[in-house]
């Protein structure tokens, strides 16, 4: 395999690995946010105390999506 083709293949493979790492990090961040949100709601704390209107929108979204998911530790 010519050097330039090996290099292009390596670059593509590295980009795919980075994309997967980014996807995994995003998934972990969503899981942490969901856990924090569930905990705050369970203790009766507002989700966004500094922005009531935004908090209401987030609460509505949370009720539809995050809380429907099974709780993970």
Q: Is 60 a residue whose pLDDT tops 80? A: no
Domain ranges of the chain: 3-64
Alpha-carbon span 71 to 34, nearest angstrom: 9
- Look over the chain and give the mean of its residue pLDDT values, rounded to a whole number: 77
What's the whole-model pTM score?
Answer: 0.52
Helix axis angle for 3-42 and 52-64, nearest 10°, is 100
Which residue in 47, 68, 45, 69 sits closest to 58, CA to CA? 47
More confident residue, 52 or 11: 11
Q: Is 66 a residue whose pLDDT tops 90? A: no
Instruction: Classify residue 41 as exposed, middle or buried by CB count within 10 Å of its CB (0-12, 13-18, 19+).
Output: middle
The pLDDT value recorded for residue 53 is 56
Give per-residue pLDDT as tens, 7-32: 999 999 999 999 999 999 989 888 88
């Amino acid at each position: 395999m010519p050097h330039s083709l090996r290099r292009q293949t390596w670059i593509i493979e590295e980009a795919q690995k980075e994309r997967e790492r980014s996807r995994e990090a995003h998934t972990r961040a969503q899981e942490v946010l969901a856990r924090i949100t569930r905990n705050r709601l369970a203790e009766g704390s507002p989700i966004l105390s500094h922005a009531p209107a935004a908090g209401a929108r987030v609460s509505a979204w949370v009720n539809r999506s995050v809380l429907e998911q099974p709780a993970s530790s």
